[in-house]
Amino acid sequence: MLTTQTRSEATAARIIAAAKSLFVARNYSDVTTDMIATAAEITKGGLYHHFASKEDLYLAMMLGDFEDKRRLFEQAVAKPGTCRDRLTQLTRDYLELPHEERELTHLVRRDVNTFSGKERDSLISAYQKALPAQIETIINDGIRDEEVAACDARILAWSFVALVEVVIGQYAEVTLENTEAQLEHVLGLFFGGVSITPKGEPA
């Protein structure tokens, strides 16, 4: 038998699940609490019992999602192996997430200016801890171990994020067909670039 706390947690989770689908499909300003309550099959009063406002619900949704991703991706950071091995694992973990979970990551840039003060700061901080900062850690290790040229690891981390975001676009997903092709494209560009050795010159 579900306890009151467990029922409450289950209801909150159902509200957040409904909110995820709506916020991924629509801009923040276009989503209403009425829409969320209907999708979650709960009364509007029931929604407000769990979340004081649409803003509070959005923050709970995003911060919870980023914490889940931080825990997932830190497994690749802690994994033994080369810089390339660990970046491959982190990227694979990201690419194999359900489409909606990947799209949630992009909302922070789309919606961040809707917020201000500590709420805005908390969203940016949670995103950075979940993804760019973990990539930066792996790259710093690669620089230390002379697997990656010595340069600014933070800039490299953001460059890597940009490469990954390109391969999950609609055109690239069709062209590259599967996760392995996406991984090969991202890791090949990041570590090898696109130049070719002219004929007659040593590789």
CATH number at residue 18: 1.10.10.60
Q: Which ranges of the chain would DSSP assign to H, the alpha helix?
A: 4-25, 33-40, 44-50, 54-78, 83-95, 99-111, 117-130, 132-144, 153-167, 170-176, 179-192
pLDDT for the residue 3: 58
Question: Is 76 in contact with 160 (CB distance < 8 Å)?
Answer: no
pLDDT for the residue 195: 80
Say if residue 111 is in the same domain as residue 79. yes
Q: Mind listing the pLDDT tens digit of every residue in the chain (203 residues)?
A: 455 558 888 999 999 999 999 999 999 999 999 999 999 999 999 999 999 999 999 999 999 999 999 999 999 999 999 999 999 999 999 999 999 999 999 898 899 999 999 999 999 999 999 999 999 999 999 999 999 999 999 999 999 999 998 888 888 888 998 999 999 999 999 999 888 766 666 55
Say if residue 47 is in the same domain as residue 70. no
| Domain boundaries, position 15 | 1-52
* Residue 202 resides in a domain: no
Say if residue 106 is in the same domain as residue 36. no
53 torsion bin: left (phi>0), alpha (psi -120 to 50), beta (else): beta
Angle of helix 54-78 versus helix 33-40 axis, rounded to 10: 70
Task: Quote the distance between the C-alpha of residue 17 and its chain's center.
Answer: 16
Q: How many CB atoms lie within 10 A of CB 191?
A: 13
pLDDT for the residue 100: 92
Say if residue 18 is in the same domain as residue 79. no
Say if residue 115 is in the same domain as residue 34. no
Say if residue 26 is in the same domain as residue 95. no
* Residue 1 resides in a domain: yes
Say if residue 67 is in the same domain as residue 47. no
pTM of the model: 0.87
Cα(170)–Cα(130) distance, rounded to whole angstroms? 24
pLDDT for the residue 1: 45
* Domains identified in the chain, total number: 2
